[in-house]
Amino acid sequence: MSPDQMAGGMIIVVALIFIVLPVLPFFWVLKKMGRTPWWGVLLFVPLVNVVMYWVFAFWRWPSVDGYQYSALEFD
């Protein structure tokens, strides 16, 4: 294996680490909120990810409030 191939492989590994590691805690927070972690996929959409941080911040947390939520209900 040439050094160029090894460098290319390392770039892929490092890129995956920098992409996956920041998103994993968000999946766990969504699960604690009582929401489906699939909402976390929106973090990969530019500009939508910034808006969704604000939406999630003000969404009711059924697991904390003991509240049964409807689809897109806010405080």
Burial bucket for residue 30 (CB in 10 Å: 0-12, 13-18, 19+): middle
* 16 is a domain residue: yes
* 45 is a domain residue: yes
Domain count of the fold of the chain: 1
* 71 is a domain residue: no
Helices assigned H by DSSP within 1-75: 3-33, 48-58, 62-65
* 43 is a domain residue: yes
* 70 is a domain residue: no
| Secondary structure letter of residue 47 according to DSSP | T
* 20 is a domain residue: yes
* 21 is a domain residue: yes
**And the tokens for 31?**
């699960």
pLDDT tens digits, the chain, 75 residues: what are they?
677 777 888 888 898 888 888 888 888 888 887 788 888 888 888 898 888 888 888 877 776 666 555 555 544
**Structural domain span for residue 28:** 3-65
pTM: predicted TM-score of the whole model, two decimal places: 0.56
* 8 is a domain residue: yes
Angle, helix 48-58 to helix 3-33, in steps of 10 degrees: 30
Separation between Cα atoms, residue 67 and residue 47, nearest integer Å: 30
